[in-house]
Chain A
Amino acid sequence: MPETLPSDSVGIVEPQTAYFPESFTLANNRVLPEYQIVYETYGVLNQAKSNAVLICHALSGNHHAAGYHSMDDHKPGWWDNYIGPGKAIDTNKFFVVCPNNLGGCDGSTGPKSINPNTGKAWGAEFPSLRVRDWVHSQAQLADKLGIAQWAAVIGGSLGGMQAMRWSLEYPERLRYCIVIASSMRLTAQNIAFNETARQAIMSDPNFAEGNYIEQNVLPEKGLSVARMIGHITYLSDDGMGKKFGRDLQSGSFALGTEETVEFQIESYLRYQGRKFSASFDANTYILMTRALDYFDLAREYNNDAVGAFKKAQCKFLVISFTSDWRFSPERSREIVNALIHAERDVSYAEIESTYGHDAFLVKGQDRYDNIFRHYLKGIET
């Protein structure tokens, strides 16, 4: 909890809600009769409405990307390290919009919301979503805010997939696309991790086939294990070794004792799992990981990523991190190669880091910060 707010913080922020009363047809042809999107904004929209930046969140993110909700908050928003006055995404220059994605569990319409047709929580009945559904709903939000064209659409991981999809679905509605630690489609190994996480949730008796809210229980254990699996893959072997090594949280290996030994990494992962399962919705987790698995940028372009990107009109910045094995630099290079052969403007940097996939969130990485900062500085508003 901050005693006083740091000078480079966007300060105390308040989420807003945009309500869309018209029906919304999803990629799978199912229809949401109405929906709402919760979002936050930082900075000021200029008169020409040309300085707006859209932040697309990743799997477990939400609309709270920067600042604090109150002075009692323990932590600022999830990308506070890179959003704020004077930071890489400079709120003195840009009007930053970050929505909670449809299907989320932090206020936007999702499995926890009431299905107007039944009067009960959607639960497992909530329609499956594709990345494009998020992009289309974000476009409706942009319409509502009067933003005809984003200066930039920016996202890491699953957020990067949304940013790329934006460049194809609404090519004239963004000038720059920043894709960090992302991929044009997941590998089999990646889908395997997601499926293992889903199975952990579904095998929890409290999951109740997704109708746990109705039954007034929560699949906390399953969701917790799902998060632990995910968390391991977001860090690197090196990074984990540096942070925890084989240090013990409790117990001892002294001969002649029979104390239960607990490694720090065990206790850390359990803590992360517990914390996550208390705040996140299991159905949302399943839905988001499936959207990740289903995403394939070029599927509808005859699996030709070059052909797909020819549709884009914006300029691209692609960034990857050397120790990221979940969305490895190789995946980013595939994006870059497709962009080059599609004759799109693109720059690419591969940042040396031990933070694994999570690196895009971690502060204090000078090279990442500098590239991100200077690229955004060059964007005219």
Chain B
Amino acid sequence: MRIDHLAIDKWIAQNSRVLDLGCGDGSLLKHLSNSKQVHAYGLEISAEYIQACIEKGINVIEQDLDKGLENFKSDSFDTVIMSYTLQTMHYPDKVLRDMLRIGKEGIVTFPNFGHWNARLHLLFKGRMPVSTRLPYQWYNTPNIHFCTFRDFEKLCNEMKFNIVDHLVVSENTSSQILQKWKPNLFGETGIYRITRS
């Protein structure tokens, strides 16, 4: 189970309506339907992931998030999740706005580009960071809009979103200790719970 999925679980209410933007292979929604009996839909664009969701019995809708979410009515969901998807969007700000129009609450997780590893990679190698979690080269990566925790918080502030709660998670133990001291430097993944103000 992915560490960010475990954290998200805590913020999801029993029997709530959940929309997962970029639901991947459906493992988060599968988990949430077992643990919280949520009524959920995942949006996905990859044929392989859609197939995986169908095999898991997850409601999955083929839809390109970059083409907008006008088909979803305002306030039609309790929680809209975007897990490791924000950085792949053409217009992250538009998706965030839509997210909080459709849902009463949004949960966003993304990789921290301000992580020391990424900073060192660029500083010493002079090349775009490549890690096990983000293994792509600059020219073939689906991740086109990286941000740091500080960047994201600034955007939320500009868009007048409330950050109700946030967590910083890391897979490795030394980061887990250091992220408490300087999250923007040592945290690997940010998980934000946001609402309209």
Interface residues of A (CB under 8 A from B): 333, 336-337, 340-341, 343, 345-350, 367, 370-371, 374-375, 377-378
- CB nearest to A378 among chain B residues: B57
Write out the residue numbers on chain B whose beta carbons fall within 8 Å of the beta carbon of A377.
55
Given the complex of chains A and B, what is the CA–CA distance between A302 and B190 in angstroms? 46
Given known A343-B17, A371-B50, A374-B51, contact A348–B60 (CB-CB < 8 A): yes
Write out the residue numbers on chain A whose beta carbons fall within 8 Å of the beta carbon of B147.
none
How far apart are A154's CB and chain B's nearest CB, in angstroms?
A: 15
Given the complex of chains A and B, what is the CA–CA distance between A95 and B76 in angstroms? 38
How far apart are A87's CB and chain B's nearest CB, in angstroms?
A: 17
Q: Quick one: which of B17, B54, B71, B76 contacts A347, CB cutoff 8 A?
A: B54
Query: SS class of chain A's interface: helix, strand, loop or mixed?
Result: helix
Q: Quick one: which of B41, B47, B57 contacts A340, CB cutoff 8 A?
A: B41
- Which residues from 71 to 123 on chain B have a C-beta closer than 8 Å to any C-beta of chain A? 71-73, 76
The answer to the question of B144 belonging to the interface, with a C-beta cut-off of 8 Å to chain A, is no
Most buried by A among B17, B59, B62, B72: B62
Write out the residue numbers on chain B whose beta carbons fall within 8 Å of the beta carbon of A378.
54-55, 57
The answer to the question of B163 belonging to the interface, with a C-beta cut-off of 8 Å to chain A, is no
How far apart are A45's CB and chain B's nearest CB, in angstroms?
A: 25
Given the complex of chains A and B, what is the CA–CA distance between A348 and B61 in angstroms? 5
Interface residues of B (CB under 8 A from A): 17, 39, 41, 47, 50-51, 53-55, 57-63, 71-73, 76
B62 touches A341 (CB 8 A): no
Given the complex of chains A and B, what is the CA–CA distance between A347 and B59 in angstroms? 5
Write out the residue numbers on chain A whose beta carbons fall within 8 Å of the beta carbon of B57.
378
Write out the residue numbers on chain B whose beta carbons fall within 8 Å of the beta carbon of A336.
61
B76 touches A371 (CB 8 A): no
A371 touches B54 (CB 8 A): yes
Write out the residue numbers on chain B whose beta carbons fall within 8 Å of the beta carbon of A367.
47, 51
Other than A341-B73, A343-B17, A346-B59, give 6 A-B pairs with Cβ distance below 8 A.
A341-B76, A347-B53, A347-B54, A347-B61, A348-B61, A367-B47
A343 touches B39 (CB 8 A): yes
Given the complex of chains A and B, what is the CA–CA distance between A337 and B68 in angstroms? 14
Write out the residue numbers on chain A whose beta carbons fall within 8 Å of the beta carbon of B61.
336, 340, 346-348
A370 touches B62 (CB 8 A): no
- CB nearest to B17 among chain A residues: A343
- CB nearest to B40 among chain A residues: A345
- CB nearest to A344 among chain B residues: B59
B72 touches A340 (CB 8 A): yes
